[in-house]
Structure 1
Amino acid sequence: MTEDTGMLFSGPTPSIDDLRREARRLHKSYDAGDRGARQRLSELPPRGDGRELKRADFLQVVARERGFESWPKLKLAAETQGLDRAAKIQRLKIALFHGQMPVVQALLAETPDLADGLFGLQCALADLSGVRAALAQNPRLATERHGPRSAILHLAFSRWHQLHPDLRPATLEIAALLVARGADVNDAQEGAGGEKLSALYGALCVARNLDLARWLLDHGASPDDGESLYHSAELGTLDGLKLLLERGAKPQGTNALLRALDFNDHGAVELLLAHGATLDEEAQTIPALHQAARRGCDRRMVELLLEAGADPVREWRWVSPYGYARVLGSRALVEALEARGITAALSREEALMAEAAEGRGTPGAYIDPEALPPAYDGLLRGLAGRPDRLAQIKALVSLGLPYDAPDGVDGVTPVQAAAWEGYPKVMAHFLDLRPDMSHVNAFGGTLLGTLLHGAENAPKAEGRDHLACLKLLLEHGVALPRKAMALVGRPDLAVVLQGWAEAHPGQVV
């Protein structure tokens, strides 16, 4: 175990009595109106029925902060395994679930037998001999739930093979053992938004185990699971997209083409169009040309869409493609439309915002945000993921566009978007405007939590620097919840967080 990774697990393990005392202190602080205690309860509310909180509720919070679903489960694990080992096992479960492979590697280096006897974890770790022995004793393990996932989902979603490519053949053998004993290749778990996330989605789009994805398809997995085709467009390679389309996946109604536009991926768009993807269908959340403008797609992409039949005058939320391109600063779309003789009149507000996008300003002019069509809702949130548009962001804020308004869909604010994306210069600008750093979005994420999630899940892109963003947040006084620090999956971020918390204990809540 490296020194940095070890920082994730440093510090003495509390006893059950220590945790009971912590719950009593939390209860007392909460009743006294302590801000830190209130925040701990708001992040992990024990219940939402409005009844007066009791000691059991505070025990529940203490347990959940350590990754356990409830206090009784924490207490049982501590009594049967010892609290230190129980805590490590729980941390291993969380790390495997969230794909935090450095944490998994550190835990297993310290305690190699940590997953012994835990069938779901053995599947996730591609422990072929352990899985085979367990199934020989109890074949029903193949169809039972092990925590939030079945065995085949533990296997499919695991990224462990990325650190150990030699285990990929074992993942196929384990899949065969599970299916032979009744596991469903189309099994799925529920996502944060209620969507169904299948084993195929896990293998292809989360674990990026193309061999296992192909095996699942060969054995009856549906390529039309509602998620895999869309997310295969964000993998940075066409292999997964090709595999699904060759197996009959239907692009219509999936928004996969819009996702390919997010990355200006010409090859993916051409593939989807060749396999029947349609432009401007009613099911799409936004027309293709508007999406191309929003994502800053190049002229080649714009021409590809127009030649494929994208409607150059269809309005979306009261805004034409031309007007939207002017406001977003998409010169590629503006020039392509003007070359075809297509323009549109801009409102006063649109004209001012278009000037901002073009680097021209009108001193003393302000827009009326209430006069903007709904197409511009969340405009700054979208631009926060475009570090090349920082000058435009600053100009729009100067014009009076609300700089801290949450997106109407998922409640993400511009500063949260910049944090998730990992663009420190953009985030620094929004932080200087003094946004609400305690805002919680629809995903349950605070500003710090959103940054930490992005650090582990944002697609690779030039200029991302989540570590620099984290340091900015710390310097601006962001609150440091104990749970967030305990569950961070990147060792470099964990080291910085721990060092800062030790030097600035007043920020820890």
Structure 2
Amino acid sequence: MKTLDQLRRDATALKKAFGAQAAEAVQRVISHRPRPEGEPLKHADFLHVIAREQGFATWPHLKAAVETEGLDRAQRQQRLVVALKNGQDHVTEQLLSADPTLPQDHFALSVLLYDRAAMAKMIATDPALATRPAPQLPPLTVLAQSRAIHLFPDREADMLAIADLLLSHGADPDYGAPQQGDHALSTLYFALGYGNNMALSEWLLDHGADPNDGESLYHATELGHHGGLRLLLAHGADPKGTNALLRAMDFHDVEAVQMLMDAGARADDFNADEVGGEVHWTVPALHQAARRMSPPDMVALLLRNGADPTRVYEGVTPYAYARIFGNSALAQQLEDAGHATPLTEVEALLAQVADGAVPERRYIDPSKLPAAARNIIREILHLPGKLPHLQRLAAVGVEYDRPDSAGVTPVQAAGWVGLPDVMQALLRLKPDLGHLNNYGGNLFSTILHGAENNPDQTRSDYIACLQLALDECVALPRRAIDQVGDPEIAAFLRNWAADKPGQVVETGPR
């Protein structure tokens, strides 16, 4: 077990290696992004990286845990915190079975496990605990981050009693956790969009949480049911100016789209989003329908509710967009309604490719692609039956390794969705496997993130994707084996590490 002095020496060694631009050290620092890119790093930043690698939010949190509990027990407690927040039920059960005393006198774990008696006792001793960060966010927000309701549904009454207790001692149901810039994630978002916890979500809304928090309505469309959407709309959520309708279209959820339109959503809600310093206009509904292969009943609903069949988005009409993305049903609907538009030379070539052709000796200059089609491979790779289309696009010169606005490359996106056939096709094109996206993730860590966060895993095979990445000699971080939530994935990684120990590294993105 490492001491604080050893951890400090690790930070000093990392700082030295980073100064020499050692590849592993650079990747470790980038993975945890201690400060905005371009700003000079201080010694505290390397301590921060060490803390993150040990599973703690900051160096002060790691230092305090080691001083009070010793690193081994503190790490197990922190692992339990992570498991409860990420819904890693088998990890939670395993840790509590091995040591039922882990939550003892640990305030955050008492909140996350809905331990009503422990909470009441601690707050009676120190009422300020009800609003004091635990360790970073107020306890009510931590309560909303817990996914334990799905493992312990019988504790719902205790959970709501804790919420009442915190409220009576000054907790704010409408608190927003600060994120980058001016953006904030609300307590309601964590309960509803993140935790799928309808009981706590209703409690929060009944006690003053703002349903228009910029996140909850969007993520309510991802839950696989309409309970959250109905709850938000009943409490006055306004879908105008949000991307909730477009997100519902991703799942071909005609009922959800109708609900949102009944509440005031417009098919063409042109709002500007700033991404990477550039302003991007929200995609109009018919263009969204084209690139998501929306069914005819979805398109008919959009047209009945004011979708503009002539609207130009990033240089392309809805008809051209449908032809480029191979949505022949939508193209036919627009033709039948008299809204077909002439195709440019590049659009015509892309339409040929979408229709199944690979024209001989004709190639696309990526710089001449309309902005709407620049990331077309990234846009279609997750759609059923689109692999041949993707391969034809690559054959005529469309960029197959172009990162999107979040820095995610197509091969990473295929791994996140869990599609080994698509991932294998992209790997044959020799993409950059060392690329780190804007979240600090590489191919391996992006696959693991998708395994735990992808809301639609009906076609996913994450073990096959991980095997493809490992077959390409992508490094296997040792700590990933213990941190992954799926027991089958954990067993696969454990077996791989035993068979190929030389591929295991002590650090790396997770």
Global fold match (TM > 0.5): yes
Q: 1:64-213 alignment to 2 at 5 Å?
A: 64-71=52-59, 73-191=61-179, 195-213=183-201
How far off its partner does 1:297 sit?
Answer: 0.5
Equivalent position of 1:427 in the other structure? 423
Deviates more, 1:141-150 or 1:89-98: 89-98
> Which digits, 9 at most, give the CA deviation of each residue in 1:263-284, with x for residues without a partner?
1101001111111111212216
Equivalent position of 1:386 in the other structure? 383
2:34, 2:242 → 1: CA distance?
Answer: 37
Equivalent position of 1:340 in the other structure? 337
Q: Give TM-score, length-normalised by structure 1.
A: 0.91
> Which digits, 9 at most, give the CA deviation of each residue in 1:337-379, with x for residues without a partner?
1111221111222112111211122122211111111111221
Q: Which amino acid aligns with 1:145?
A: P
Q: Which amino acid aligns with 1:156?
A: A
> Which digits, 9 at most, give the CA deviation of each residue in 1:102-143, with x for residues without a partner?
322222221212122222221111111111111221221111
1:153, 1:60 → 2: CA distance?
Answer: 23
Indicate which of 20, 24, 28 corresponds to 1:40: 28
Contact 1:40 1:481 in 2 (8 A): no
Structure 1 residues 393 and 195: CA distance shift in structure 2, 3 A: same
Matched positions, count: 495
SS in 2 for 1:145: coil
Equivalent position of 2:366 in the other structure? 369
Equivalent position of 2:437 in the other structure? 441
Equivalent position of 1:352 in the other structure? 349
Structure 1 residues 496 and 190: CA distance shift in structure 2, 3 A: farther
Structure 1 residues 319 and 477: CA distance shift in structure 2, 3 A: same
Q: Give TM-score, length-normalised by structure 2.
A: 0.90
Deviates more, 1:471-480 or 1:63-72: 63-72
How far off its partner does 1:58 sit?
Answer: 5.4
Contact 2:85 2:147 in 1 (8 A): no
Contact 2:358 2:395 in 1 (8 A): no
Q: Which amino acid aligns with 1:474?
A: L
Equivalent position of 2:282 in the other structure? 285
Deviates more, 1:205-214 or 1:314-323: 205-214
> Which digits, 9 at most, give the CA deviation of each residue in 1:131-186, with x for residues without a partner?
11112212211111112221111111210011111112221111111111111110
Q: Does 1:476 align with 2:464?
A: no
Structure 1 residues 218 and 439: CA distance shift in structure 2, 3 A: same
Equivalent position of 2:327 in the other structure? 330
Deviates more, 1:490-499 or 1:175-184: 490-499
How far off its partner does 1:478 sit?
Answer: 1.1
Deviates more, 1:246-255 or 1:379-388: 379-388
Indicate which of 303, 313, 318 corresponds to 2:315: 318
1:199, 1:73 → 2: CA distance?
Answer: 22
1:176, 1:486 → 2: CA distance?
Answer: 35
Structure 1 residues 41 and 209: CA distance shift in structure 2, 3 A: closer
2:149, 2:220 → 1: CA distance?
Answer: 19
Contact 1:387 1:425 in 2 (8 A): no
How far off its partner does 1:498 sit?
Answer: 2.9
2:41, 2:459 → 1: CA distance?
Answer: 48
Unaligned runs of 5+ in 2: 272-280
Deviates more, 1:74-83 or 1:423-432: 74-83
2:345, 2:400 → 1: CA distance?
Answer: 20
Contact 2:478 2:504 in 1 (8 A): no
Contact 1:352 1:361 in 2 (8 A): no
Q: Which amino acid aligns with 1:478?
A: V
How far off its partner does 1:31 sit?
Answer: 6.8
2:34, 2:254 → 1: CA distance?
Answer: 48
Contact 1:121 1:154 in 2 (8 A): no
Between the aligned residues of both structures, percent identity stands at 46
Structure 1 residues 24 and 182: CA distance shift in structure 2, 3 A: closer
Q: 1:47-62 alignment to 2 at 5 Å?
A: 60-62=48-50
> Which digits, 9 at most, give the CA deviation of each residue in 1:244-303, with x for residues without a partner?
111211110011111111111010011111111112122161000000111111011111
Structure 1 residues 167 and 316: CA distance shift in structure 2, 3 A: same
SS in 2 for 1:430: helix
SS in 1 for 2:455: coil
Structure 1 residues 28 and 285: CA distance shift in structure 2, 3 A: closer
1:205, 1:73 → 2: CA distance?
Answer: 27
Q: Does 1:496 align with 2:492?
A: yes
